[in-house]
Amino acid sequence: MKRIRDSQTIIGSLESGETAAELTRMITKTLAELKELAGNRPKNKVKGSVTLKINMEVEAGTATITADIDAKTPKPLRGSSFFWVLDDGSLSTEHPQQQDMFSGPREAGDRTHPGVQSA
């Protein structure tokens, strides 16, 4: 009587080897997608996974085994933009409490009374 005792043989036997072949394809495809998402930048980590789920049913001394293969990759990375939220709910790229030094000449304040505009 031939006994199967190792997982490689069991997985290799499922669906006449098609499960192992599909698992290999999914691993390769997932790694290619992760490499593309990570780009060529150093320290840019992207994570994904390939899951093999083995479902077993035993009845009257027989076993029926089916497999599910699932791959997960993250969504493509998107950049972010920074804005200031103004009192009316609109957005600005300039700090609302700082003056623009480059928008042109402004009236100078009164030297005797700081903060008072000259007339």
Task: Break the chain into its structural domains and give their ranges.
Answer: 7-72
Digit-coded pLDDT (tens) for 9-57: 999 999 999 999 999 999 999 999 998 888 877 778 889 999 999 999 9
Kindly report the pTM of this predicted structure: 0.61
- Between CA 74 and CA 6 the distance in angstroms is 33
Residues 6+ apart with CB under 8 A from 23: 11, 50, 52, 69
Confidence tier at 107 by pLDDT (50, 70, 90): confident
Q: How far apart are the first and last CA of the chain?
A: 107
